[in-house]
Structures are given as C-alpha cells and as structure tokens.
Amino acid sequence: MTYDITEKLNFDADPKLKINDTELTIKSDAENVLQILDILQNNGEMEAAIKCIPILLSKEDQEKLNSLHLKMNDYISVMEAAVSLALGEDPGENNQGE
C-alpha cells in the first residue's frame, strides 16, 4: 500500500525577511530548524544569535545583514524574526504592541 502525502507538503520557497530595502531569505529546511531549536535550548540569547544567523542565512545574506550595522538588540530582533519564519510562525505574533 502506498499513501501519497505530496499534496499535504509545502514545497514553497523559503520565507523572506525585509529590513528597509534589504531582503533576507531564511533557510527553513528541517535540518536547519532542528539545529536552531537545539541552539536555542542550550544557549543564552547572545550566543544563540551568533550561532543561529549563519545557519538561517546564506553568506550573501549574512553580508547584507552585517552591512546594516545594527545594534545588538536589533540584531537579536532579526534573529528572533528569522527563527519564527523558519518555524513557520508569524514573527509579529510574538511582538505584541510593537
């Protein structure tokens, strides 16, 4: 017996995060998300930000992010939004009042 689940799967392109005119593609495949979840569980916020961004962004998008010269709090906000997108969540749901 074969059960075809193809129609239940989401083969859409990776989500994108926009900061002003800069667009970053979030690598949201399962392998990356599992790595991210492990990092978030076993590290503090600063360490997680440093370790997660290279997993979630291509080198090109990391360079784009670095060119923005963000403050650390903003960098962490980008990381949190990127993680939310990778998990298939709406980043705005966790930022009430912003």
Residue range of the domain that includes 54: 25-88
Establish if 9 belongs to a structural domain: no
Q: How confident is the model at residue 93 (pLDDT cuts 50, 70, 90)?
A: low
Establish if 5 belongs to a structural domain: no
Residues 6 or more apart in contact with residue 53 via CB below 8 angstroms: 62, 65, 75, 78, 79, 82
Establish if 52 belongs to a structural domain: yes
With beta carbons less than 8 A apart as the criterion, state whether 24 and 57 touch: yes
Q: What span, in angstroms and rounded, lies between the C-alpha atoms of 41 and 51?
A: 12
Q: Looking at the 3D structure of the chain, how many domains does it have?
A: 1
Torsion of CA 64, 69, 73, 76, to 10 degrees: 20
With beta carbons less than 8 A apart as the criterion, state whether 82 and 21 touch: no
Instruction: Tell me the pLDDT of the chain averaged across its residues.
Output: 88
Establish if 15 belongs to a structural domain: no
Q: Is 50 helix (H, G, I), strand (E, B) or coil?
A: helix
| Over residues 2-23, mean pLDDT | 86
Establish if 64 belongs to a structural domain: yes
Q: Is residue 19 predicted with pLDDT exceeding 80?
A: yes
Q: How confident is the model at residue 98 (pLDDT cuts 50, 70, 90)?
A: very low
What are the pLDDT digits (tens) for 55-82?
999 999 999 999 999 998 998 899 989 9
